[in-house]
């Protein structure tokens, strides 16, 4: 029986050389050196055919920005189900008062409200007097953590009954006349008020956090669609609750199933939609009214129980990635990506990659998939640093992967 030769430095050097040749040799070393120079404070992780071929700081919790939406999407698909459709309920009493009860549909847009009024007319509704907006299914004492309170659409406030993503798209002409900038949306009285002080041109602005304005916006849009469909009547637009025991006249199911909502959310990085899903998950798990705390608890439990991601790996504050209190490791994000593979087609496709970006001041991130020989290969890139080297790092990761 031959004795096993001792492992020497020379032997180890030879094995290392063979390993480097197998994954790219000197070019691999040069690229990883470039990665190390560009990576000041952050993490990268790259896999190929199920194996991690490059990893830097995989266990360091970092702010993920909007790549966090992948985690929210995965939690929603698990908690609500891929066939989930949001329901908006409408009640009509003997005085022809219409009660509109919201359940957090993030895509309650002009086209949906047009269909709702068409359905009411088809059901024989010929008169609507007062319109009462019922937003009791959400109980939110504050905006999402990280929201800046600006008029920008990404800061739009969440709620049980919010239309057109809580934003208006207006056009101001040179004579200061204000009209809707969307063919599908009638010009509403509120638009002129929101346009005050803005220069001529097209503007998309959010309604703000004032609950009365949010619901007034919804009420004016429902009234305009009522008129469009020839339903008679007039009266106040006010906030209230649907009377107990009154049977719904209509239960309108959203025209979009959950995967369609998620695809649009990921494509446009819509913070409003992400947090509507986050809140809906909490309500599904722990009952209405939806609250931020229920959303946090539902997502934490999903990540811990189903994905085995504990507090050392992930911290949950809200669902969009706006909050700097959200944290995840590159390894944790890879786990999320592994479970999201059946839904990878919902991610935007750019240059052959399925990819989600994330950006905050001092936060630059990418997460998604590269096409491998056998399967999709996950990659994670999270920078919490002043220098935005995100795109240069992604090109290096792609070169290493494809070598």
Of 193, 189, 218, 221, nearest in space to 205 by CA: 193
Q: How many CA atoms lie within 13 A of 119 on its CB side?
A: 18
> Percent of the chain beyond pLDDT 70?
93
Q: Vertex 49, ends 384 and 369: CA angle to 5°?
A: 45
| Mean of per-residue pLDDT scores for the chain | 92
- Render pLDDT for 64-85 as a digit per residue (tens, 0 to 9): 999 999 999 999 999 999 999 9
Specify the range with the lowest mean pLDDT, choosing from 140-154, 250-264, 312-326. 140-154
Q: How far is the C-alpha of 87 from the C-alpha of 34, rounded, in Å?
A: 51
The answer to whether the beta carbons of residues 128 and 219 sit under 8 Å apart is: no
CB contact set of 319 (below 8 Å; sequence gap of 6+) = 68, 69, 72, 144, 274, 275, 277, 278, 279, 295, 299
Task: Give which of 234, 255, 246, 252 is closest to 119, Cα–Cα.
Answer: 252
204's tokens: 């998309």
d(CA 148, CA 364): 19
Q: Is the predicted pLDDT of residue 19 greater than 50, yes or no? A: no
pTM of the model: 0.91
Place 24 in a pLDDT band, splitting at 50, 70 and 90: low
pLDDT at 297 over 90: yes
Domain ranges of the chain: 35-80+260-402, 87-256
Q: pLDDT at residue 294 above 50?
A: yes
Q: What's the CATH number for 87-256?
A: 3.50.80.20
298 near 290, Cβ under 8 Å?
A: no
Q: Give me the CATH code for the 35-80+260-402 domain, please.
A: 3.40.710.10
Q: Residue 321's CB: how many other CB atoms inside 10 A?
A: 30
CB atoms inside a 10 Å sphere around CB 7: 9
Query: Rounded to whole angstroms, what are the CA distances from 394 to 12, 62, 97, 336?
Result: 31, 18, 57, 19
HEC per residue, the chain = CCCCCCCCHHHHHHHHHHHHHHCCCHHHHHHHHHHHHHCCCEEEEEEECCEEEEEECCCCCECCHHHHHHHHHHHHHHHCCCCCCCEEEEEECCCCCEEEECCCCCCCCHHHHHHHHHHHHHCCCCECCCEEEECCCECCCCCCCCCCCCCCHHHCCCCCCCCHHHEEEEEECCCCCEEECCCCCCCCHHHHHHCCCCCCEEEEEECCCCHHHHHHHHHHHHHHHHHHCCCECCCCEEECCCCCCCCCCEEEECCCCHHHHHHHHHHHCCHHHHHHHHHHHHHHHHCCCECHHHHHHHHHHHHHHHHCCCCCCEECCCCCCCCCCCEECHHHHHHHHHHHHHHHHHCCEECCEEEEEEEECCEEEEEEEEECCCCEEEEEEEECCCCCCHHHHHHHHHHHHHC
| Confidence (pLDDT) at 203 | 95
pLDDT digits (tens, 9 = 90+) for 148-203: 776 677 778 999 999 999 999 999 999 999 999 999 999 999 999 999 999 999 99
Residues in the chain: 403
Nearest Cα neighbor of 132 from 55, 243, 37, 210 is 243
Q: What pLDDT, on a 0 to 100 scale, did the predictor assign at position 64? A: 98
Longest distance between any two alpha carbons in the chain, whole Å? 100
User: Quick one: pLDDT band at residue 27, thresholds 50, 70, 90?
Assistant: confident
**Ramachandran angles phi, psi of 358, nearest 5°:** -150, 130
pLDDT per residue as tens digits for the range 31-75: 889 999 999 999 999 999 999 999 999 999 999 999 999 999 999
Lowest mean pLDDT: which of 7-16, 60-69, 111-120, 342-351? Answer: 7-16
Give yes or no for a contact between 397 and 54, defined as CB atoms under 8 angstroms apart: yes
The gap from C-alpha 143 to its chain's centroid, in whole angstroms, comes to 15
Report the share of the chain in percent with pLDDT over 90: 86
Distance in angstroms (rounded) separating the CA atoms of residues 82 and 343? 10
- Residue among 201, 104, 108, 203 nearest 158 (CA): 104
Is residue 91 scored above 50 in pLDDT? yes
Is the separation of the CB atoms in 101 and 89 below 8 Å?
A: yes
């Amino acid at each position: 029986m031959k004795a096993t030769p001792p492992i020497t430095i020379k032997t180890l050097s030879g094995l290392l050389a063979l390993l480097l040749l197998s994954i790219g040799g000197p070019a691999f070393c040069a690229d990883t050196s470039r990665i190390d120079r560009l990576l000041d404070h952050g993490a990268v992780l790259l896999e190929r055919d199920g194996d991690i071929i490059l990893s830097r700081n995989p266990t360091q919790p970092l702010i993920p920005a909007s790549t966090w939406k992948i985690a929210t999407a995965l939690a929603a698909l698990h908690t609500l189900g891929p066939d989930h459709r949001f329901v908006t309920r409408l009640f009509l009493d003997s005085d022809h008062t219409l009660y509109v009860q919201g359940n957090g549909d993030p895509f309650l847009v002009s086209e949906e409200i047009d269909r709702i009024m068409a359905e009411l007319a088809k059901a024989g509704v010929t008169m609507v007097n007062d319109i009462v907006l019922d937003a009791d299914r959400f109980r939110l004492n504050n905006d999402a953590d990280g929201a800046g309170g600006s008029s920008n659409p990404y800061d739009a406030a969440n709620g049980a009954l919010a239309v057109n993503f809580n934003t208006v798209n207006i056009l101001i002409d040179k004579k200061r006349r204000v009209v809707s900038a969307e063919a599908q949306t009638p010009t509403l009285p509120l638009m002129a008020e929101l346009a005050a002080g803005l220069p001529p041109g097209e503007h998309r602005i959010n309604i703000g956090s004032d609950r009365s304005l949010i619901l007034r916006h919804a009420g004016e849009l429902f009234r305009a669609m009522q008129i469009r469909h020839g339903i008679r009547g007039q009266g106040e637009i006010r906030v209230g609750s649907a009377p107990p025991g009154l049977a719904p006249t209509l239960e309108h199911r959203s025209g979009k199933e959950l995967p369609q909502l998620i695809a649009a959310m990921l494509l446009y990085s819509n913070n409003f939609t992400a947090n509507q899903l986050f809140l809906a998950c909490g309500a599904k798990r722990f009952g209405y009214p939806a609250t931020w705390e229920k959303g946090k608890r539902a997502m934490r439990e999903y990540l811990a129980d189903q994905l085995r991601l504990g507090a050392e790996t992930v911290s949950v504050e809200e669902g969009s990635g706006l909050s700097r209190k959200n944290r995840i490791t590159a390894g944790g994000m890879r786990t999320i990506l592994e479970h999201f593979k059946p839904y990878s087609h919902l991610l935007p496709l750019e240059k052959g990659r399925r990819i989600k970006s994330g950006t905050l001041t001092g936060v630059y991130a990418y997460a998604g998939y590269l096409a491998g020989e056998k399967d999709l290969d996950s990659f994670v890139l999270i920078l919490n640093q002043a220098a935005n080297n995100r795109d240069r790092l992604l090109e290096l990761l792609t070169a290493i992967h494809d070598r």
